[in-house]
Amino acid sequence: MSIRVENLSHTYMPGTPMESPALVGISLEIKEGEFVGLIGETGSGKSTLIQHFNGLLKPTTGKIYVDDIDIGHKGTSLKEIRRRVGLVFQYPEHQLFEETVFADIAYGPSNMGLKGENLTRRVRESMEMVGIDYEELKDRSPFELSGGQMRRVAMAGVLAMKPKVLVLDEPTAGLDPRGRGEILQQIKELHREFGLTVVLVSHSMEDVARLVERLLVMHRGKLVLSGPTREIFAQEEELRKIGLGVPQVTELFHHLRGCFPTIKPDVLTVEEAHREICSYLRQKRGNIHA
Ligand code: ADP
Ligand code: MG
């Protein structure tokens, strides 16, 4: 399932003294099966943009197409679009509201008419997809769980609708390093195993460098850069100008190139850095022995 945005602008509270343009002339396309990252400083419009992907917000001007269907068209079923394009909000645990984990995850599919065995199976499968145990958690209150578990329950609630596109707004915000690592790993697996199209909003350059194939970069309501992750992080100066950076290890390698000009210029992760350093040293040792 693909998403296409054409010349989208969004102004909050138009016609009031509070009027403020949050998105300006955005055009982009997310192809089926892609894993895309969306970055930009706070207030740049990331959350506003993704809430247009499933019709939660209406464009002030412009159009959104999901699989070439204009979602603003009168005849389009927004209910169906929302089922297909699943949105996990920032701090999704704030949206948990039922008394048990089961009831919370079952909420969406039971509204769709799923019942009995089918509903139970759907809840169980969704919990498995995010790595939480059905028997252990189904009767617990979502509010007694750890931050990471709550977030998984919220994700399971979205996955229970069997979306084709999963949009996650800063899914690791506020979690400790272990919780963050686990959630990211889970998202990666959802993409790989189930072929979900994933849009990950993040302010961690490390996280997107490790995970996504392509980056969309926003600044003050505009889409200012878009391209393969490696190419975007090669533009350190442009990113700095708009309040962003590159992963620390990428920056370190930029510095190292001052002393070791033949070292790889576009290292993105600690693992890549490790490989590069080993191969560099091996080569050097070879040269000495030669
Ligand atoms: P980000 O997710 O990148 O931090 P947002 O999309 O939340 O950015 O915000 C973009 C701009 O729109 C900001 O200036 C923000 O203050 C404003 N904004 C966001 N939500 C609302 C709202 N519900 N009402 C009015 N202004 C809003
Ligand atoms: Mg936001």
In a domain, residue 272? The reply is yes
Q: Are 197 and 279 in a shared domain? A: no
**Average pLDDT along the chain, 290 residues, taken 10 residues at a time:** 97 91 97 97 97 96 96 92 94 86 96 95 96 96 90 94 96 89 92 95 94 97 97 95 96 90 89 92 78
Q: Where are the beta strands (DSSP E) in 208-275?
A: 214-219, 222-228
Strands 165-169 vs 3-12: parallel, antiparallel or unpaired: unpaired
- For residue 148, the model assigns a pLDDT of 87
Q: Are 220 and 263 in a shared domain? A: no
In a domain, residue 146? The reply is no
Q: Which domain holds residue 251?
A: 247-290
Nearest CA to ligand 1 atom 27: 12
In a domain, residue 209? The reply is yes
Count of domains in the chain?
Answer: 2
- For residue 290, the model assigns a pLDDT of 63
The predicted model scores a pTM of 0.94
Q: Is 106 left (phi over 0), alpha (psi -120 to 50) or beta?
A: alpha
In a domain, residue 83? The reply is yes
Q: Are 235 and 260 in a shared domain? A: no
- In the DSSP assignment, the letter for residue 70 is E
- Which mutation among 12, 18, 199 tests ligand 1's pocket best, with the greatest number of atoms within 8 A of CB? 12
Q: Are 221 and 270 in a shared domain? A: no
Q: Are 199 and 254 in a shared domain? A: no
Q: Is 212 in the pocket of ligand 1 (CB under 6 A)?
A: no
Q: How far is the CA of 133 from the centre of ligand 2 (A)?
A: 30
CA distance 172 to 141: 22
Q: State whether residue 139 is helix, strand or coil.
A: coil
Q: How far is the CA of 241 from the centre of ligand 1 (A)?
A: 21
Q: Are 10 and 82 in a shared domain? A: yes
- For residue 160, the model assigns a pLDDT of 96
Strands 165-169 vs 85-88: parallel, antiparallel or unpaired: parallel
Q: Where are the beta strands (DSSP E) in 45-126?
A: 61-66, 69-70, 85-88
Residue type, 6: E
Q: Tell me the CA end-to-end span of the chain in Å, nearest whole number.
A: 55
Q: Look up residue 180 and give its two tokens.
A: 């963050």
Nearest CA to ligand 1 atom 21: 12
Q: Nearest-CA neighbor of 95 among 133, 122, 56?
A: 56
Q: Is the dihedral of CA 76, 78, 84, 87 positive or negative?
A: positive
CA distance 67 to 57: 18
- For residue 285, the model assigns a pLDDT of 81
Q: What residues contact residue 189 under an 8 Å CB cut-off, 6+ apart?
A: none
Q: Is 42 in the pocket of ligand 1 (CB under 6 A)?
A: yes
